[in-house]
Structure 1
Amino acid sequence: MTTTSSTHSLRVDKAISEEENEKKIEKSPGEEEIEDEADDKSQRSHIGSESQSEDENPNKSSMKKQYKNLTEFPLYLKGLLHLEEQDFREALKCFEEAFLMNTQNQKYLLEIGRLKLFLGEQHKAILCFTKVLQMSERNWKAHYWKALAIYLENRNSADSCTLAIDSLVQCPSNFKIPQVLLLASKFCFEKGDIPGAIEALKRVIEMDRNNLDAMHRLGLIYSKTGNDSLAFAIYGQALSTDSSHVPSIIGAGAIIQKNGDLDVALNKYRIAAFKSNHIAVLWSNIGMCYYGKGKYVAAISCLKRANYLSPSDWQIFYNMALIYESMQQYASAYQYCTAALSMEPANSSVVATLASILEKLTDDENACKAHLKILEVQDEATPLRYLNYAIFEYKRYNASLSRELLRKFYQLWDGGSYEDPFGEVDEMARRLRFAVVEITGEELPERPNEFKTEEGHEGKRNENLILEA
């Protein structure tokens, strides 16, 4: 027997046992004979001619008319088969017919709601899940899918995650279910409640020490919030449970890559590629490792494979733009950067890279528009955007505007926590300041943390700051 057949048989056995438990009704001998006959005919109808239409298989339609509400179970089985084959519309028809025969069956209504959600009918799905909850308030699956449907229906709204979480908390016992906690952590993270997301994932791990999905998500949150040491520890815990867990291998490799140990990171990625080589993030990270080693052709090859696996990932296009810019192929860099910008128009890093590429293409007019757009992007106000714009305006002999931008740069740079381990940013700003003051004859306000170096140049005290990558 093939794997598909065994899977179907398991589904059938499970469904039969559930149906027998739910329907404990005493029947007369005559009714049992009729139902046995219906079951025999339905099995011959569905197994012997599964792919036939009703016109080609008259036994099926005649069986429906003869035995009426005794045929709901074959419809449920056929719906499961269509669901296994991902034929959602046919599966929906089967479950709807089964539900019309037994309107008190929560299982059918739950499947109808899920299929409507898969087909993009979120509002109708919410109505189905609400009806299930009216039958059984403690049905955690209905709460789970209803919250997901609410989130998808309002995904363009800022309150989508809040509405979904409000739906989940209507039944406090839901938060004893790991799947519900995982969904709640996703909503909390997207709405910016990082502590709430971390707490939910920690509770999942307490319930199930072997839940690799929760460990991986917790590691990702730690990594995105700058806690690389905690993220690396969580990935290590996941790999101690399953040394072949590919997402944890990639996560650990990404942290190693971020710290500059490219060879060790490549060894990690090699292990992950041996286990599963069809992950776009994996090939993107490998490509950027080769980029860091100066092997641009190998990097482009890896990134093109990543783009084939995930054509709509803006980060892959952005990485390609960086590599082509390093190779001084500015036209190709411009194409990939604009592709990334069309997918992520509010990302300041992409706009800044586009401005740099346009400068090198000597398109000053559009480069100026790009710099202005960076200042309009509503994300974290980083000082480097002002420094880059100030340098650009100085090159255009606009010293007064450059001076004003440099002043804003110093306000953010001195008032925030930014790291400059090699002193490159401070040195560039110092040289620009000296040039601007010499041209305009106007001194910039004194910086509170400046001091005189041995050579008499202005410097900045080392304050263990973090520089934007």
Structure 2
Amino acid sequence: MDDGTSTSGGVGKLTSMLRRDYKECLRLIETQLKSCDGMCEYPLYVKGLILRGQGKVQEALELFQAATLLNPSNHANLKQVGKCLFLLGKHSASIDVLDEAMLCARREDWEIQHNKGLCFMFLKEYEKALEAFQTANSIQRHDSTFVEMGKIYTATGDLKRAIEVYLEALEFSPDNPELLTTVGLLYLRDGENFKAFEYLGNSLTRDPRNPKTILAAGSVIQDHSDMDVALVKYRVAAVKTPNSAQLWNNIGMCFFGKARHVAAIACLKRSLYLDPFQWITAHNLGLVFMHTTQYASAFHYLSTSINLKPSFAASYMYLAIVLSRLEDAESAVAAYEKALQLDPDDPVCHLNFASTLHNIGERERARAQFQSYTILCSRMTSDERRALMETCAELHTQVSKMLQVN
């Protein structure tokens, strides 16, 4: 055997593999191994591939190691040993074997460098991982390598660089719907909704029933308050992924946007049943219950959301509003203070805090919070102020009158 090519008896095994008749293939392999007392390299190699495909990674590793003992200079065997070690979570050992395979290879091998990059990535040695992936791409460009590089930049918070990597990948594979969707999602995270929708739309043109793309496109539409169109999109996605917690969360918030609170609660509870640790769903349920004046239930779900994600300031603000409705002023004030500690530049939180402070008789503190709100509003653009007034004009007027300020 040389780099995976067969000699005597190999044609039958190869034909069985191509037909995916692995049972017959394994029978032929066993016959071959018996005839040569287990000293034939290629049957060991093929059997290892089959067993690994069936999830028997440890058994596959032993077969590839046996093939390596028979032919230590064949880098194909070493490459498979390295891949098995990676799948078993032995990333450092995998790198050592892959380095050995690289020394045995007659020419540069993309797969070796790509697999080394994966190992370094799991070890969180991102610089070395990027170096390996870049070397792999210099040998032969693959979508999968670009995707892994993009994952590293995304994990380290460098969304701009991640987008650049995926755009470079699209030059190589312009019709890849997964790449188009990923770019769209990154633009969405970066706040560029127009570009996000452009790439998500291109992805849907190529794969109109991709649930991941539909979910992302629906969320953009939903953010623009077109709930009915978003629901049409989600209906298509629900056929493919009926057990997606994120999908039911979005559907629930569409119904909330349409003021159909019972339907919203039902969908959000289904989402939470599918993924009990999804903090955003617990937050949204708290929000819906708050709007339906079910303050005890709102308190329960907002507290759950905070336990799951204690760094999200808005959950503390809504919890403070609920606590003030439950007449627990001391806890409400503490929740507002925590919200402002996490996000001191949120004008809505300052405005709500001012209202609560006035209601409990702390007029001077209320004035200070309203002044902070006014200062933050003055720094906004006209469009930002208009958007803010659309959501809290009534509260603004109410607090202004209470505090007798303009």
TM-score, L = length of structure 2: 0.80
The CA distance in 1 between the partners of 2:64 and 2:173, in whole Å, is: 34
Q: Give the structure 1 partner of residue 277 of structure 2.
A: 312
Match runs of 1:88-237 below 5 Å? 88-135=57-104, 138-154=108-124, 161-162=126-127, 164-170=129-135, 173=138, 176-237=141-202
Structure 1 position 432 matched with structure 2 position 403: no
Superposed CA offset, 1:367-426 (max 9, x none): 33332332333x784333333333333333233333333333333332245343345546
The CA distance in 2 between the partners of 1:243 and 1:62, in whole Å, is: 48
Superposed CA offset, 1:323-371 (max 9, x none): 2333333333333333333332222233333333333333334333332
The CA distance in 1 between the partners of 2:255 and 2:199, in whole Å, is: 27
Task: Provide the aligned C-alpha RMSD in A.
Answer: 3.8
**Secondary structure of the structure 1 residue equivalent to 2:346:** coil
Match runs of 1:385-424 below 5 Å? 385-417=349-381, 418-421=384-387, 422-424=389-391
Q: Which moved more, 1:201-210 or 1:406-415?
A: 406-415
Letter in 2 for 1:394: H
The CA distance in 1 between the partners of 2:357 and 2:34, in whole Å, is: 79
| Alpha-carbon spacing, 1:404–1:380, altered in 2? closer, same or farther (3 Å) | closer
| Alpha-carbon spacing, 1:397–1:223, altered in 2? closer, same or farther (3 Å) | same
| Alpha-carbon spacing, 1:424–1:276, altered in 2? closer, same or farther (3 Å) | closer
Superposed CA offset, 1:250-270 (max 9, x none): 222222222112112111222
Q: Is the 8 A contact 1:151 1:164 kept in 2?
A: yes
Q: Is the 8 A contact 1:300 1:320 kept in 2?
A: yes
How far does residue 302 in structure 1 lie from its aligned partner after superposition?
2.5
Structure 2 unaligned spans of 5+ = none
Structure 1 position 323 matched with structure 2 position 292: no
The CA distance in 2 between the partners of 1:355 and 1:109, in whole Å, is: 60
How far does residue 73 in structure 1 lie from its aligned partner after superposition?
3.4
How far does residue 61 in structure 1 lie from its aligned partner after superposition?
13
How far does residue 284 in structure 1 lie from its aligned partner after superposition?
2.0
Q: Which has the higher contact order (CA 8 A, sep 6+)?
A: 2
Q: Is the 8 A contact 1:161 1:190 kept in 2?
A: no
| Alpha-carbon spacing, 1:268–1:47, altered in 2? closer, same or farther (3 Å) | closer
The CA distance in 1 between the partners of 2:344 and 2:97, in whole Å, is: 41
The CA distance in 2 between the partners of 1:353 and 1:108, in whole Å, is: 59
Match runs of 1:352-391 below 5 Å? 352-377=317-342, 381-391=345-355
**Secondary structure of the structure 1 residue equivalent to 2:361:** coil
Match runs of 1:39-54 below 5 Å? 47=23
2:313 to 348, 357, 360: 348
Q: Is the 8 A contact 1:106 1:135 kept in 2?
A: yes
How far does residue 211 in structure 1 lie from its aligned partner after superposition?
0.2
Q: Give the structure 2 partner of residue 19 of structure 1.
A: 4
The CA distance in 2 between the partners of 1:174 and 1:348, in whole Å, is: 47
**Secondary structure of the structure 1 residue equivalent to 2:37:** helix
How far does residue 317 in structure 1 lie from its aligned partner after superposition?
2.5
Q: Is the 8 A contact 1:403 1:433 kept in 2?
A: no
Q: Give the structure 2 partner of residue 283 of structure 1.
A: 248
Letter in 2 for 1:19: G
Structure 1 unaligned spans of 5+ = 1-15, 25-31, 52-58, 155-159, 439-456, 459-469
The CA distance in 2 between the partners of 1:315 and 1:145, in whole Å, is: 35
How far does residue 215 in structure 1 lie from its aligned partner after superposition?
0.5
Letter in 2 for 1:374: A
Match runs of 1:236-247 below 5 Å? 236-247=201-212
The CA distance in 1 between the partners of 2:196 and 2:133, in whole Å, is: 28
Q: Give the structure 2 partner of residue 10 of structure 1.
A: none
The CA distance in 1 between the partners of 2:186 and 2:306, in whole Å, is: 25
| Alpha-carbon spacing, 1:329–1:183, altered in 2? closer, same or farther (3 Å) | same
| Alpha-carbon spacing, 1:358–1:147, altered in 2? closer, same or farther (3 Å) | farther
How far does residue 237 in structure 1 lie from its aligned partner after superposition?
1.6
Q: Is the 8 A contact 2:95 2:116 kept in 1?
A: yes
| Alpha-carbon spacing, 1:203–1:388, altered in 2? closer, same or farther (3 Å) | same
The CA distance in 1 between the partners of 2:186 and 2:168, in whole Å, is: 15
Letter in 2 for 1:428: L
Letter in 2 for 1:149: C
How far does residue 216 in structure 1 lie from its aligned partner after superposition?
0.4
How far does residue 213 in structure 1 lie from its aligned partner after superposition?
0.5
Q: Is the 8 A contact 2:32 2:43 kept in 1?
A: no
**Secondary structure of the structure 2 residue equivalent to 1:67:** coil
The CA distance in 1 between the partners of 2:140 and 2:314, in whole Å, is: 38
Taking every aligned residue pair, what percent have the same amino acid on both sides? 28
The CA distance in 2 between the partners of 1:400 and 1:427, in whole Å, is: 22
| Alpha-carbon spacing, 1:212–1:358, altered in 2? closer, same or farther (3 Å) | same
Superposed CA offset, 1:218-247 (max 9, x none): 111222223222222222222222322332
TM-score, L = length of structure 1: 0.70
Q: Is the 8 A contact 2:150 2:166 kept in 1?
A: yes
Q: Is the 8 A contact 1:174 1:180 kept in 2?
A: no
- Number of aligned residue pairs: 392
Q: Is the 8 A contact 1:306 1:316 kept in 2?
A: yes
| Alpha-carbon spacing, 1:18–1:104, altered in 2? closer, same or farther (3 Å) | closer
